Amino acid sequence: MFDGLKDKLSSFRDDAAEEVDEKAAEAEAEADADSPAASSGSDDAAGGDTAAETTDDAAAEAEPSEESDDGPGRLKRAKAFATGQVIVEEGDLEDPLWDLEMALLDSDVEMSVAEEILDTIRENMIGETRAQVSTTEELVTEALHDALLDVIAVGQFDFEERIARADKPVTIVFTGVNGVGKTTTIAKLSRYLEARGYSSVMANGDTYRAGANEQIQEHADALDRKLIRHDQGGDPAAVIYDAVEYAEANDVDVVLGDTAGRLHTSNDLMEQLAKIDRVVDPDMTLFVDEAVAGQDAVERAREFDDAAAIDGAILTKADADSSGGAAISIAYVTGKPILFLGTGQGYDHLTRFDPEALVDELLGESDD
């Protein structure tokens, strides 16, 4: 999963570490070449104590400033490198950061998200003096880890804790465009909830599409779930309202409401969502899209959040996504978290989204 992005992040880490070490080593070499000791042999030949005194005076006058307009100063940087530390200057990262920005954009990371990642890396590294635990690569990895986590973890909340604390039944409405696996995701979440001790009922609020009742009925039958449905062309809000009534009467914990696939520009369908909000007042509205949709998924998440105030997102086909752009970007763009990843065709192929674990995986730090 996200193998292409992993490779690009690894390249940045290697290039940045190499660039920082090379520049620090150059500074040390230049400082050594400029030091008074380099010419002490000829001074000694000129004679005794007088030469020594002259050398001391020259050293005091010639010693470079430890601060300069361009950064921490060559001498300070050389001293740090000689004692196992690294001082990072902006010039060290200029080329690696440019390459990283192009790599992120090529991986469908949204522009503002890529810029935030780069800004955080600069903030965490430039001008800093940090002891090398083992290699400069660790310094770069730490900065990259923090930058990625800052954008991926925006808005995160504990889904299971929210279900546990909420008054029952909990009503969850699913929205998104056609063909992204929304109905299958509802079935997967029903199985996920069952494994954690929660009962659920499905409601087909997609009364617009021919065959929608039959599609979700197949999932309900396979999972032995009750399905609340009306005839095609019925009122979606009424269907989900009936499901809530059923759940209350039968002590069912969670109502999972499907809706018609729509674009934010479909005024009639967006009005259906608004009516569902008024009639049912769902506890959560979850946006579903494909991870492989990349920038399109990010833009749709933004549009749906603007139109219908989503609470979180679920990305399907994450196992087929090498770029990772949607997973990196959606939370930062919407301020709402990714909650789950669909990772296969089976009902058990739904994984709780863990930002820390994802960053570790992207940077090759996971235990798997």
- 97: phi then psi, degrees, rounded to nearest 5: -70, -35
CB atoms within 10 A of CB 197: 8
φ and ψ of 228, to 5 deg: -95, 125
Look at the chain and count its residues: 368
Q: Which of 150-180 are b and which e, b meaning 16 or more Cβ less than 10 Å from the residue's Cβ?
A: bbbbbbbeebeeebeeeebbbbbbbbbbeeb
User: What residue type is 30 in one-letter code?
Assistant: E
Query: What's the CA gap between 249 and 169, in Å, rounded?
Result: 10
Residue appearing with tokens 């679920």: 314
Q: Which one-letter amino acid corresponds to residue 190?
A: S
Q: Return the number of other C-beta atoms located less than 10 Å from residue 86's C-beta.
A: 23
Per-residue pLDDT of the chain (368 residues; tens, 9 = 90+): 788 888 888 888 888 877 777 776 666 666 566 555 554 544 554 444 544 444 444 444 444 444 444 445 555 555 555 555 666 777 777 888 899 999 999 988 999 999 999 999 888 877 655 554 456 777 788 888 999 999 999 999 999 999 999 999 999 999 998 889 999 999 999 999 999 999 999 999 888 787 888 999 999 999 999 999 998 878 889 999 999 999 999 999 999 999 887 665 566 767 778 888 889 999 999 999 999 988 889 998 988 888 778 999 999 999 888 788 888 999 999 999 999 999 998 999 999 999 999 999 888 865 55
Residue 130 is predicted with a pLDDT of: 54
Cβ atoms of 167 and 137 within 8 Å: the answer is no
The tokens describing 207, both together, are 């009364």
Cα-based angle 223, 224, 229 (whole degrees, multiple of 5):
100
The pairing of beta strand 338-342 with beta strand 284-290: unpaired
Closest-CA residue to 295 (of 156, 117, 112, 65): 112
Strand partners, 141: none
CA pair distance 148, 145, nearest whole angstrom: 5
How far is residue 87 CA from its own chain's centroid? 28
Q: Give the residue from 227, 252, 276, 286 showing the smallest Cα distance to 169.
A: 252
What is d(CA 193, CA 119) in angstroms, rounded to the nearest whole number? 39
Count the neighbouring beta carbons within 10 Å of the beta carbon of residue 139.
23
Q: What is the pLDDT of residue 52?
A: 45
Q: What is the pTM of this model?
A: 0.80
Question: What domains are there in the chain, each with its CATH number?
Answer: 3-152 (1.20.120.140), 159-353 (3.40.50.300)
Q: What is the CA radius of gyration of the chain?
A: 29
**In this predicted structure, what is the pLDDT of residue 85?**
62
